[in-house]
């Protein structure tokens, strides 16, 4: 498996203290990405681990999985390494290690991995498929399908919305999000709004890539208002 | 008579006055008094002579009471302006330890009163004492080994936790009565002599109390209003204690200060690292007797804290107070005085004395909440933290009685000793493993100076590297033999200076022997310390050698040449060695190597006996000696450059643990803490941004849940002894650089407290080399969360 970053963090990508692996490679090209070095193996450095090496490392890390912690996979897009990912998720589950995965939700067979995932985080970037494709390179139909499937399978699901000025903070986009969520069983998932930041800006420059985002910050008021609208339709909103 | 506010205002004024002191001459006067008495005391046993010397000092030493003082007493007459870390003249390149006991005479600036001739006369006298002669002979004999620090030894002064509780409770009279009885029943003339010495020495504290009482009376006569009443109250107190027992917190603090002052005078100059022990338990009975509020108790204790600050840079370094903790059954012993002490510390934020906190599985959440303000206020002192659950196991392995476990405390930095019962000679010997590795790799010849330390038979490079572990361990055994012989020699030298006063509070009244006696054990527990340096450098080096032999065997014979020239011209080999696995990243091969080294060297050290036949105690700490010893070590196979610092304590070498806090803790947890009977050192520099709670209390509990509990009380460690020591600096390198660049903005009162090994210090008082070491070792990548 190609891993461009790993380390522990607390309650940011799943519950408790977690060992987070960032897997290299992504099928989207979001211009606001905070980990551009994870987009492709042709950019930046990475280390290679076999699934069994990763499972061994996770087992040796058990003392640090306190407060319900465990292992989280993110990216890049973790499902770009789906074969190895499936093997390692199974290995972790067999060893009683709590698992979480953050995904952009575009992997058609995502449901095949559900049985080994304790906490699922799906990024939902835009409710309107055409605009989703314009900003990320892919339409959102599979993303929506996977959200529906995770709910149907009663997975612990957190939907994350990167909230970005000029991308998805207009009236039409917000209504689109609300309409989609209203069509779901709102008791079976939570939503987290992640306001735009520029933590990745320097990384883009280090990778020799142009950083195209401008005027994308959203205000705290906008965020709060969006959260209130979500709560008004019965969606549980969290902040981590 | 007093309010908490007025008492606090006096304490702050008193500290300000103390910090304005530019000269410390009292210690010289004590030595001069001893010099002047020498002829008269000739022919007495050394114990009786020591007691008589103390008697003369207490009679003749000029005393004073400050206008701002609530209590009488001072440590200013026991310390010189010597301590290297806070001496602006300190340089890593020229520091050679404290091995010359007459060097202190160079720390006093001659003036009209203290002329050069006067100073030289006492220095000459000192040079000709039996103590200095024996010690100098020992240093001369082992100089080839200590010059480039394959090992180092020193005579241990201070570094003890006296038990003054019996005097606080019953008064000096009770001990004097016991001594009379023991003398009557004792037939051994040696012991009788010792009892007599202890009786004289103990009488000195009564003399000191009386002189201060007379001074207080004079101050009262000259004062007006409230201040007059206050000095009268002080006089009254000093007429009562220490002869009688204490009945109020005020009396207990005053009594304690007199005893402490005398203990320090007995060992002047520079008896560093005496410790109070659990100050909360010492004083709580007297607070409770008058049901004093937390606020009022804290106000009085502020004066107690000021007492530990000496002169312009708080020269009496490494005196430690500890609070909280548990008993042998697991009951928490935190009490109202614990919290009052925390309040006093926080409000005063003084460079001394050091604060430590004992924690355990059942430490109340309130303790963690109250600690939050210390960790998360920039420039405020932070306590070092001890895990009682583990330390108790360690002490049990050292055959400490169950009843004594709760009375462990730390002498100076992190060395666990039993209050009133344990003479651990904690800093007696110092082992530099990477220097020994260098000698192994170079036929016994220093790669730094080319000097032959001990020549060994030539072996080809590949064979040498293949057998490097066993060569190292065998060579190390030889050096440890020599080191322990030298260390015991230093202990025998210091036994020429008995301490009958301190012995009264260290089991001497029961045993009949001085605590420094090298023929008879005066204290219930005894041992000698060995501070072991360079754990992760060694582990990283062994693993790098393995990698070289496995992957680039053709380059194996280049390694030693590369080390000799600090990798100049061998940059490719250097990069290869740097890329080898490093301790601190949860990589099994190197973590297990570190554990193996820690096991074998701890056992090796513990198998050596001190002057009384008790084991040396393995202490994996490097109190700034990671800098000074590293300076004498050539490049090492892990890729560390020549003269660079070694790793600190059991921590990874700075810059080598890049995977963040989680991996670093996991590596740390694999070490055999049960073998570290003398203690160990570990530091985390943590960026405050990881703790986002709104209140100090919330940040304190977050800190406990995310750092302390995983490290100290981890359920996965149930079959092994968990880590038991930690100190932290919650700040960033950028913040400290800003403080240095603009101290007036960031530390308007001139004090910005930082932790450095077992002590905390005013960051602005430190020498530049030490300031940079603190910044470097924050090593933020190693603690990312």
What pLDDT was estimated at residue B413?
A: 85
Q: Which chain B positions have a beta carbon within 8 Å of A17's beta carbon?
A: 662, 706, 710
Domain membership of residue B719 (yes or no) is no
Interface contact B662-A6, CB threshold 8 A: no
Q: How far is A49 from chain B (nearest CA, A)?
A: 13
Predicted local distance difference test score (pLDDT) of residue A11: 78
Instruction: Give which of A7, A13, A70 to mutate to test B binding, by max B Cβ within 10 Å.
Output: A7
Q: Which residue in the block uniquely carries the two structure tokens 């050539």?
A: B634
Contact B519, B214 (CB under 8 A): no
- By CA distance, what is A17's nearest residue in B? B706
Closest-approach residue (CA) in chain B for A10? B785
To the question of pTM greater than 0.90 for the whole model, the response is yes
**Residues with Cβ within 8 Å of residue B125, at least 6 apart in sequence:** B35, B38
Q: How many CB atoms lie within 10 A of CB B1?
A: 9
- Give the pLDDT band (50/70/90) at residue A42: confident
Segment holding B123, helix H or strand E: helix B116-127
The strand pair at A70-74 and A99-103 is best described as parallel
Q: What are phi and psi of B679, to 5 degrees?
A: 105, 180
Total count of domains within chain B: 1
**Is the Cβ–Cβ distance between B518 and B608 less than 8 Å?**
no
Long-range contacts of B85-89 (CB under 8 A, 24+ apart): B85/B317, B85/B624, B85/B756, B85/B761, B85/B766, B85/B767, B85/B770, B86/B313, B86/B314, B86/B315, B86/B317, B86/B761, B86/B762, B86/B765, B86/B766, B86/B767, B87/B767, B88/B767, B88/B768, B89/B767
- Collapsing DSSP states into helix, strand and coil, what is residue B769? helix
Residue A19: pLDDT band with limits 50, 70, 90: very high
Q: What's the mean pLDDT in A79-89?
A: 98
Q: Can you read off the two tokens belonging to residue B256?
A: 């304690």
* Fold entry, domain A2-238: TIM Barrel (3.20.20)
- Give the pLDDT score at B458: 87
The predicted structure's pLDDT at residue B765: 85
Question: Which residues in chain A are contacts of B714 at CB distance < 8 A?
Answer: 63, 66
Which are the contacts of B32, defined by CB distance < 8 A and separation ≥ 6? B118, B122
Q: How many contacts (CB atoms, under 8 Å) link A and B?
A: 45
Judge: A61–B662 Cβ closer than 8 Å, yes or no. Answer: yes
Distances (CA, A) of A50 to A27, A56, A58, A81, B212: 22, 10, 12, 12, 75
Question: Is any Cβ of chain B less than 8 angstroms from the Cβ of A3?
Answer: no
Q: What ipTM, to 2 d.p.?
A: 0.88
Residues from B in contact with A at Cβ < 8 Å:
586, 588, 659-663, 665-666, 669, 690, 705-706, 709-710, 714-717, 784-785
Q: Does residue B290 belong to any structural domain of this protein?
A: yes
Rounded Cα distance between B486 and B445, Å, is 21
Q: Which two tokens stand for residue B491?
A: 């202990």
Domain of residue B327 covers 4-80+160-423
CA distance B11 to chain A (A): 42
Query: Are B706 and A8 inside 8 Å of each other by CB?
Result: no
Cβ neighbours of residue B684 closer than 8 Å, sequence gap 6 or more = B661, B664, B707, B726, B727, B728, B729, B783
Nearest to A2 by CA among A61, A83, A95, A58: A83
Min Cα–Cα distance to chain A from B415, Å: 27
Among B551, B710, B537, B511, residue whose Cα is nearest residue B635: B537
Please count the other Cβ atoms lying within 10 Å of the Cβ belonging to residue B124: 12
Domain with residue B325: its CATH number is: 3.20.70.20
DSSP letter for each residue of B299-357: HHHHHHHHTT--TTTT-S---EEEEE-B-TTS-B---HHHHHHHHHHHHH--S-SEEEE
Instruction: Return the DSSP state at B609.
Output: B
**Per-residue model confidence (pLDDT) at position B435:** 98
Who's near A134: CB < 8 A, 6+ residues apart?
none
Nearest CA to A36 out of A76, A89, A77 is that of A76
Calpha distance B682→B649 (Å, rounded): 6
Measured CA to CA in angstroms, residue B323 lies from A215, B185, B272, B416 at distances of 53, 39, 20, 14
Q: Tell me the two tokens of residue B376.
A: 């998360």
Res A14 pLDDT > 90: yes
**Yes or no, beta carbons of B660 and A7 under 8 Å apart:** yes
Signed CA dihedral, B240, B242, B246, B250: sign only: positive
Chain B residues touching residue A7 (CB < 8 angstroms): 659-660, 662-663, 784
The shortest CB-CB distance from A64 to any of B665, B690, B784 is to B665
Q: Which chain A residues in 41-60 lie under 8 Å from chain B, judged by CB atoms?
A: 57, 60
Cα B557 from chain centroid? 43
Do the chains contact at A63 and B661, CB–CB below 8 Å? no
Report pLDDT for B694: 95
Phi first, then psi: give them for residue B618, nearest 5 degrees.
Answer: -75, 120
User: What is the rounded radius of gyration, in angstroms, for the C-alpha atoms of chain A?
Assistant: 17
What is the C-alpha R_g of chain B?
26
Q: Average pLDDT by consecutive 10-residue portion of chain B (785 residues)?
A: 93 97 96 98 97 98 97 96 74 73 91 97 97 95 93 95 98 98 97 98 98 98 94 98 98 98 97 96 98 98 98 92 98 98 97 96 98 96 96 96 97 92 97 98 96 92 96 98 98 98 98 98 98 98 98 94 98 98 97 98 98 98 92 97 96 93 95 96 93 96 94 89 94 94 92 84 86 89 88
What is the pLDDT, as a whole number, of residue B252?
98
b/e A101-128 (16+ beta carbons within 10 angstroms → b): bbbbbbbeebeebbebbbbbbbbbbbbb
């Amino acid at each position: 498996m190609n891993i461009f970053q790993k380390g522990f963090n607390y309650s940011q990508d799943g519950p408790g203290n977690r060992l987070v692996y960032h897997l290299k490679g992504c099928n989207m090209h979001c211009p606001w990405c905070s980990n551009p070095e994870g987009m492709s193996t042709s950019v930046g450095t990475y280390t290679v681990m076999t699934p069994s090496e990763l499972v061994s490392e996770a087992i040796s890390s058990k003392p640090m999985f306190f407060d319900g912690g465990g292992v989280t996979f993110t990216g890049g897009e973790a499902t770009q390494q789906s074969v190895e990912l499936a093997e390692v998720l199974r290995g972790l589950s067999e060893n009683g290690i709590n698992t979480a995965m953050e995904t952009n939700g575009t992997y058609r067979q995502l449901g095949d991995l559900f049985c080994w995932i304790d906490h699922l985080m799906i990024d939902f970037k835009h409710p309107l498929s055409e605009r989703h494709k314009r900003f990320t390179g892919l339409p959102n139909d599979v993303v929506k399908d996977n959200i529906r499937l995770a709910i149907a399978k009663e997975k612990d699901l957190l939907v994350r919305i990167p909230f970005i000025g000029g991308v998805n903070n207009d009236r039409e986009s917000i209504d689109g999000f609300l309409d989609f969520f209203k069509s779901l069983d709102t008791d079976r998932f939570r939503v987290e709004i992640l306001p735009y930041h520029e933590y990745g800006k320097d990384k883009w420059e280090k990778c020799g890539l142009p950083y195209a985002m401008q005027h994308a910050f959203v205000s705290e008021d906008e965020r709060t208002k969006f959260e209130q609208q979500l709560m008004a339709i019965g969606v549980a909103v969290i902040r981590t | 008579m007093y309010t908490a506010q007025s008492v606090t205002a006096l304490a702050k004024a008193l500290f300000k006055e103390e910090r304005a002191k530019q000269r410390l001459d009292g210690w010289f006067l004590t030595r001069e008094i001893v010099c002047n008495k020498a002829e008269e005391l000739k022919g007495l046993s050394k114990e009786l002579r020591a007691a008589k010397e103390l008697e003369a000092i207490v009679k003749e030493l000029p005393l004073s009471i400050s206008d701002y003082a609530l209590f009488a007493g001072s440590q200013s007459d026991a310390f010189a302006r010597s301590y290297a870390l806070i001496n602006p003249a300190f340089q890593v390149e020229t520091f050679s330890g404290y091995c010359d006991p007459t060097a202190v005479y160079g720390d006093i600036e001659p003036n009209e009163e203290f002329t050069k001739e006067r100073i030289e006369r006492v220095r000459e006298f000192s040079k000709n004492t039996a103590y200095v002669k024996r010690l100098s002979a020992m240093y001369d004999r082992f100089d080839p080994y200590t010059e480039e620090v394959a090992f180092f030894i020193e005579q241990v002064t201070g570094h003890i936790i006296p038990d003054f509780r019996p005097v606080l409770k019953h008064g000096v009279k009770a001990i004097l009565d016991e001594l009379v009885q023991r003398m009557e029943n004792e037939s051994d003339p040696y012991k009788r002599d010792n009892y007599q010495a202890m009786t004289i020495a103990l009488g000195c504290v009564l003399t000191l109390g009386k002189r201060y009482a007379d001074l207080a009376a004079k101050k009262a006569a000259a004062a007006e209003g409230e201040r007059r009443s206050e000095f009268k109250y002080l006089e009254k107190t000093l007429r009562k204690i220490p002869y009688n027992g204490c009945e109020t917190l005020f009396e207990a603090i005053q009594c304690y200060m007199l005893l402490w002052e005398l203990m320090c005078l007995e060992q002047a100059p520079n008896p560093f690292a005496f410790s109070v022990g659990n100050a909360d338990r010492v004083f709580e009975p007297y607070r409770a007797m008058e049901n004093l509020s937390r606020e009022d108790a804290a106000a009085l204790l502020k004066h107690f804290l000021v007492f530990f600050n000496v002169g312009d840079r708080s020269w009496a370094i490494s005196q430690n107070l500890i609070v909280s903790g548990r008993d042998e059954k697991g009951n928490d012993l935190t009490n109202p005085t614990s919290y009052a002490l925390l309040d006093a510390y926080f409000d005063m934020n003084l460079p001394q004395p050091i604060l430590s906190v004992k924690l355990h599985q059942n430490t109340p959440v309130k303790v963690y909440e109250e600690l939050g303000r210390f960790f998360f206020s920039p420039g405020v002192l932070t306590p070092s933290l001890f895990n009682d659950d583990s330390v108790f196991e360690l002490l049990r392995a050292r055959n400490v009685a169950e009843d004594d476990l709760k009375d462990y405390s730390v002498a100076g930095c992190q060395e666990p000793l039993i209050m009133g019962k344990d003479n651990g000679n904690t800093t007696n010997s110092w082992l530099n493993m990477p220097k020994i590795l260098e000698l192994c790799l170079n036929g016994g010849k220093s790669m730094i100076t080319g000097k032959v330390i001990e020549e060994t038979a030539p072996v080809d490079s590949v064979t040498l590297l293949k057998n490097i572990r066993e060569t190292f361990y065998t060579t190390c055994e030889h050096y440890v033999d020599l080191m322990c012989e030298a260390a015991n020699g230093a202990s025998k030298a210091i036994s020429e200076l008995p301490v009958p006063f301190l012995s009264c509070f260290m089991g001497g009244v029961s045993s009949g022997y001085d605590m420094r006696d090298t023929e008879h054990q005066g204290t219930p527990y005894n041992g000698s310390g060995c501070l072991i340096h360079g754990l992760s450098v060694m582990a990283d080096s062994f693993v790098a050698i393995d990698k070289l032999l496995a992957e680039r065997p053709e380059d194996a014979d280049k390694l030693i040449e590369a080390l000799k020239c600090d990798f100049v011209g061998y940059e490719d080999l250097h990069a290869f060695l740097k890329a080898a696995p490093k301790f601190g990243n949860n990589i099994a091969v190197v973590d297990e190597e570190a554990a193996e080294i820690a096991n074998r060297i701890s056992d090796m050290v513990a198998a050596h006996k001190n002057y009384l036949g008790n084991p040396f105690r393995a202490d994996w700490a490097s109190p700034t000696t990671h800098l000074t010893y590293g300076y004498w070590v050539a490049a090492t196979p892990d890729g560390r450059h020549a003269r660079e610092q070694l790793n600190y304590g059991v921590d990874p070498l700075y810059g080598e643990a890049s995977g963040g806090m989680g991996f670093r803790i996991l590596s740390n947890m694999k070490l055999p803490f049960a073998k570290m009977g003398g203690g160990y050192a570990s530091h985390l520099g943590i960026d405050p941004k990881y703790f986002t709670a709104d209140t100090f209390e919330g940040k304190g509990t977050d800190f406990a849940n995310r750092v302390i509990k995983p490290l100290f009380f981890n359920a996965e460690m149930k079959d092994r002894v968990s880590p038991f020591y930690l100190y932290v600096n919650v700040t960033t390198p950028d913040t400290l650089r800003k403080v240095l660049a603009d101290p007036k903005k960031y530390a308007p009162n001139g004090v910005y407290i930082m932790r450095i090994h077992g002590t905390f210090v005013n960051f602005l008082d430190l020498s530049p080399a030490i300031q940079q070491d603190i910044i470097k070792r924050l090593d933020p990548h190693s603690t990312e969360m």
